[in-house]
Amino acid sequence: MEASEFRRRGKEMVDYIADYLEGVEGRQVYPDVKPGYLRPLIPSTAPQEPERFEDIINDIEKIIMPGVTHWHSPYFFAYFPTASSYPSMLADMLCGAIGCVGFSWAASPACTELETVMMDWLGKMLELPEAFLAGKASQGGGVIQGSASEATLVALLAARSKVTHQLQATSPELTQGAIMEKLVAYSSDQAHSSVERAALIGGVKLKAIPSDGNFSMRASALREAMEQDKAAGLIPFFVVATLGTTSCCSFDSLLEVGPICNQEGMWLHIDAAYAGSAFICPEFRYLLNGVEFADSFNFNPHKWLLVNFDCSTMWVKKRTDLTEAFKTDPVYLKHSHQDSGLITDYRHWQIPLGRRFRSLKMWFVFRMYGVKGLQAHIRKHVQLSHEFESLVCQDPRFEICAEVILGLVCFRLKGSNQLNEALLEKINSTKKIHLVPCCLQDKFVLRFVLCSRTVESAHVQQAWQHIRELADSLLRAEKE
């Protein structure tokens, strides 16, 4: 395919995309297919000769769409939102065309420099402490990671490297293995599974701190676990505090946990994957109070800030903490400016070497929406979640299971887990809306999350009406 055909096909694709997103509400949100549906629909080997574009594009509706879960349907209330906006898609098109690989400043200066400045823009939108911004004379700065999982892993590895160097400086006889065996990381029992995974990869212990009645990690529980571990000869080194947990969007107490981390010399990483976007609204910024105690902070604009996946933004107070943990410098990656101190080689900040020009998405989205437009998007979701909450509260058969702070409502039928599992099964097999569950204090709970950019009150009302009807028939069947 040459440029002339791309001009034609690209424009057709633009229309296809606009049609898809304008019409997504009319598609069944969750697919009917069974595992293994796709393989019989396509050949078992690649074609030897080129095919026509028409045949490929026709196969999208025939083969792909029947197996798609439509994350951008206004009837999709599962997991957490994944961002989608037209400015972001336009930026991604440009990113693909420039197609640079930004592992070093020299590999494409614009790619590195726009990222640094966009991370400062976003940091300022969140009112992050100066120490996290790249600014002029700062030691900190931001980087775009692919996912919050990677950010957590990178933070844990940096913390592991830092504590290992510190311990070996005073006790040179300690081997890395001897140290690693004693290192302990902590997170709340509500933390995301990726924290467990980061510890697994990093080869260190992870202790889950029991959260309180509000599903929040508090000082007392952390301190107790830590003191026990210290008494047993272990070395506490890393704490992940979650702002907006996956199960119920609860918040660990940064103002309590932060000072302990600082006193004890433990690295504090904040995972605000979902909730972080809300902190651009002054009325939600208080949820980030205590960030000043953290060594690293991460959230996902690709969840709730209209920047398409992937864009997980991470800030550190001391960038050398990352770069010293990861630096390897072969000749083929050296360049003449790298020792100038003015520039950033982002490959030392992350797990992969290569990286796309992802800051273009941030630039397009921030400019096309403006801060006010982004705030309006957050506020709409929060308002709709409270609308859903009040609907649930009006029906005495149901209960709310966790405080509704942002765009997630945890609710259930008063009654057994079995009953609620049956309700969810009914909802997801009817496929008019899509939800996923969670488990809170051994209770099976339904999560209702505002996800789509285009979701409105009418969808929420319909969803609730639908849930009530399914509950009606379920409870009727139970009585019979």
Closest residue by Cα to residue 302 from 359, 371, 344: 359
Strands (E), 203-277: 205-209, 235-242, 267-271
Confirm or reject binding of residue 69 to its own copies (CB under 8 A).
yes
What span, in angstroms and rounded, lies between the C-alpha atoms of 231 and 255?
A: 25
Kindly indicate which of the ranges 215-223, 232-240, 327-335, 412-420 contains the residues binding its own copies, using the contact rule CB under 8 A.
Answer: 327-335
What span, in angstroms and rounded, lies between the C-alpha atoms of 31 and 68?
A: 6
CB of 191 to its own copies, least distance (A): 10
Instruction: Give me 44's structure tokens.
Output: 């078992």
Minimum CB distance to its own copies smaller for 442 or for 480:
442
Secondary structure of residue 130 in the 3-state scheme = helix
Q: Which of 44, 231, 476, 480 binds its own copies (CB under 8 A)?
A: 44
C-alpha separations of 478 from 10, 467, 475 in Å: 54, 16, 5
Minimum CB distance to its own copies smaller for 79 or for 285:
79
Confirm or reject binding of residue 109 to its own copies (CB under 8 A).
yes
Minimum CB distance to its own copies smaller for 26 or for 47:
47
Give residues 416-445 in contact with its own copies (rule: CB under 8 A). 436-439
Give how many residues touch its own copies by CB under 8 A: 147
Secondary structure of residue 327 in the 3-state scheme = coil
Secondary structure of residue 196 in the 3-state scheme = helix
Confirm or reject binding of residue 342 to its own copies (CB under 8 A).
yes
Minimum CB distance to its own copies smaller for 47 or for 396:
47
Q: Which of 215, 315, 364, 464 binds its own copies (CB under 8 A)?
A: 364
Give residues 141-170 in contact with its own copies (rule: CB under 8 A). 146-150, 153, 157
Give residues 379-418 in contact with its own copies (rule: CB under 8 A). none
Closest residue by Cα to residue 240 from 351, 142, 159, 181: 159
- Residue whose pair of structure tokens reads 């057709």 in the numeric block: 12
Instruction: Give me 257's structure tokens.
Output: 């946990």
Write b or e for each residue in 20-31: b if 16 or more Cβ atoms lie within 10 A of its Cβ, otherwise e: bbeebbebbbbe
Minimum CB distance to its own copies smaller for 218 or for 453:
453
Give residues 172-201 in contact with its own copies (rule: CB under 8 A). 175-178, 180-182, 192-194, 196-197, 200-201
Give residues 198-227 in contact with its own copies (rule: CB under 8 A). 200-203
Q: Which of 93, 255, 393, 477 binds its own copies (CB under 8 A)?
A: 93
Kindly indicate which of the ranges 99-107, 217-225, 260-268, 290-298 contains the residues binding its own copies, using the contact rule CB under 8 A.
Answer: 99-107
Cβ(124)–Cβ(133) below 8 Å: yes
